[in-house]
Amino acid sequence: MNIFLNLTTSPLKRGNSIKSRQGERGQSLVELAMSLTVILLLLSGAVDFSIAYFSFSALQDAAQEGALYGSINPEDEDGIISRVRSASTNPVDLADEALVDVIVTLPEDACEGNEVRVNVIYDYPISMPFIGAIIGAQQITLNASVTDTILQPVCPES
Domain span holding position 55: 51-149
The residues facing 116 across adjacent strands are 148
Provide CB contacts within 8 A for 93, sequence distance 6+: 99, 100
Residue 13 domain-assigned (yes or no): no
In a domain, 58, yes or no: yes
- Would 31 be classed as within a structural domain? no
| Interval 25-76: pLDDT, tens | 788 889 999 999 889 888 988 899 999 999 999 999 999 999 999 999 999 9
Mean pLDDT of 19-30: 73
> What is the bridge-based pairing of β-strands 115-125 and 139-149?
antiparallel
Taking the C-alpha atoms of residue 24 and residue 92, their distance in angstroms, rounded to an integer, is 50
Q: For residue 91, is it within any domain?
A: yes
Neighbouring-strand partners of residue 119: 103, 145
Helical pair 27-72 and 77-85, crossing angle rounded to 10 deg: 150
Is 14 a domain residue? no
Q: Is 108 domain-assigned?
A: yes
User: What is the rounded distance in angstroms from the CA atom of residue 41 to the CA atom of residue 91?
Assistant: 22
Query: What is the spatial distance between Cα 120 and Cα 100, in angstroms, rounded to a whole number?
Result: 7
Domain membership of residue 6 (yes or no) is no
Q: Kindly provide the b/e burial profile for residues 34-62, where b requires at least 16 CB atoms within 10 angstroms of the residue's own CB.
A: eeeeeeeeeeebeebeeebeebbebbbbb
The number of distinct structural domains making up the chain is 1
Q: Residue type at 135? A: I
pLDDT at residue 69, rounded to an integer: 96
Question: Is 81 a domain residue?
Answer: yes
The pTM of this model reads 0.77
Calculate mean pLDDT across residues 13-33: 70
